[in-house]
Structure 1
Amino acid sequence: MSRIFIMHLFTPFLTQSICIIALLSTSLAEEKPIHLANTGWHVGIILPVDNVLKRNLPETRDFPEAKYLEIGWGDRRFYQSNDPSMDIAVGALFTATPSVVHVYGFKKPVEAAFSKAETLKLEILDKDYSNLLRFIYGSFVRNANGAGRSLGKGLYEEGTSQFYEGTGNFHLFNTCNTWVADALKVAGFNINAQGIITANNLMEQARQTAKRAN
């Protein structure tokens, strides 16, 4: 039996086997749920606390009881103010200002913790999740030991939220919602971050992305 005939005989079988393996690899690819929380003016990213997050985001240790972390980025003065004035808001938009990262750790199911906000669930592949975590990690100004520089208590009750010094500047074309859009784009979602300023700009694209995935 000639070598050419043998190759001709087994080529269809090998091709079919490769296709089956490729399909199995795709179907077996691990996906992880993440959420967006839209409070009306600001969107945060919600991540489940697991060993992957603990290994890749040192700030997880600051919230030992949390099952989820909600992470947001924004203008330092506006975000940290209990009663932000119009002057602070205008200054944040039209002047490049220092940024801050806010982390909120909570135990309740996402929908219960953010019952007054719009939440959107997205599925993300493991490899893309790694990219997302690298993006978030890089949004913190870090000490020599790799820990984020704490700026004190966050927006919620003691022990559940904290501010950290952020990297990058906030301005009209780089808002809290632009930051989330950039994070999603890095994570493989079909998001165009250009022109995203408001929460509504972002959520319109995110909803379409979620629909296409389903």
Structure 2
Amino acid sequence: MKQYLVKLISGVLALLVAGCSTKPYIIKPAENISSEKPNKIYVVGHDWHTGFIIPANRIQRLVPGLAERFGNADFLELGWGDKGFYLSGEMTAGLVLRAIFWPTDSVMHVVAVSDNVHRFFPGSEIEPVYLSDEEYASLLKYISNSFYRNKKGEIIKLEKGLYGNSQFYAGEGDYFLMNTCNKWTAKGLRSAGMGIGTTFSLTADSVMNYLQAQNKSQAPRVYIHGN
């Protein structure tokens, strides 16, 4: 009986996953990548959730709607997640279970960030990431592909965001057990040529621990522009 239940549950989960969209997909970086890494971005961890902090003008070139909304912002924090969970602004058992076990719509959360990202997020964990031009372009394309677009190719504005000068937008792909907000960040890092595994990168700790280990193993960098 126990084996039957395990097989039944496994079969149901397999059917659910098969019917889900795992977009946005990882972008394969260019094969000939420069060893120079002049581009500095950040990954930020807010307890259970992670996202990217990127110079605003770079992502706005690919997503003009962000330039219209955020103007001359220094940086933009971008995160992807479950629509119902994100828009509610609070964590409840029902929302958590539904988000994990049932495919739901996704959203992008975008926040204008000042030029001092550590001061802007004093209580959050922040790790720098240095990228070549090719790696950076691949990551930006991945993030751009994370926005759902209408037939005119425009991103779709939803509600005001959770904090500061922020906004929700319709996201691309379904949120479910194997396609979480932290896996989205991990897929972005893979798109940027990093070796993080994505299958089990389902928690904020798994993403931030990987970046901490990477930064500890690399020689100190001298970075003039930015933080």
TM-score category of the 2 structures, normalised to the smaller one: 0.7 to 0.9
Equivalent residue for 1:65, pick from 51, 69, 72: 72
CA distance in 2, matches of 1:103, 1:213: 30
Aligned residue type for 1:119? I
Q: Which has the higher helix share?
A: 1
- TM-score, normalising length from structure 2? 0.77
Q: Which residue of 1 aligns with 2:212?
A: 207
Shift of residue 144, structure 1, vs aligned partner = 3.2
Q: Which runs of 4+ in 1 moved over 4 A?
A: none
When Rg is computed on C-alpha atoms for both structures, the one with the higher figure is: 1
Q: Which residue of 2 aligns with 1:112?
A: 119
* Conservation of the 8 A alpha-carbon contact between 1:185 and 1:191: yes
Equivalent residue for 1:87, pick from 75, 94, 100: 94
Percent of aligned pairs with the same residue? 35
Equivalent residue for 1:173, pick from 173, 178, 185: 178
Q: 1:26 to 1:88 in 2, by over 3 A?
A: closer
Equivalent residue for 1:135, pick from 133, 142, 147: 142
Q: Which has the higher contact order (CA 8 A, sep 6+)?
A: 2
* Conservation of the 8 A alpha-carbon contact between 1:41 and 1:199: yes
**Structure 2: where are the runs of 5+ without partners?**
1-32, 220-227
CA distance in 1, matches of 2:110, 2:154: 14
Q: Is residue 144 of structure 1 aligned with residue 151 of structure 2?
A: yes
Deviations 1:106-165, CA, capped at 9 Å, x for gaps:
2240100110101101101111111001101111111233321111211114xx100011
Q: Which residue of 1 aligns with 2:44?
A: 37
Equivalent residue for 1:184, pick from 165, 189, 193: 189
**Structure 1: where are the runs of 5+ without partners?**
1-24
Equivalent residue for 2:60, pick from 45, 54, 57: 54
* Conservation of the 8 A alpha-carbon contact between 1:190 and 1:209: no
CA distance in 2, matches of 1:71, 1:185: 16
Shift of residue 43, structure 1, vs aligned partner = 0.6
- TM-score, normalising length from structure 1? 0.81
- Bigger shift: residues 172-181 or 141-150: 141-150
CA distance in 2, matches of 1:101, 1:53: 13
SS in 2 for 1:141: coil
CA distance in 1, matches of 2:112, 2:193: 25
CA distance in 2, matches of 1:124, 1:70: 17
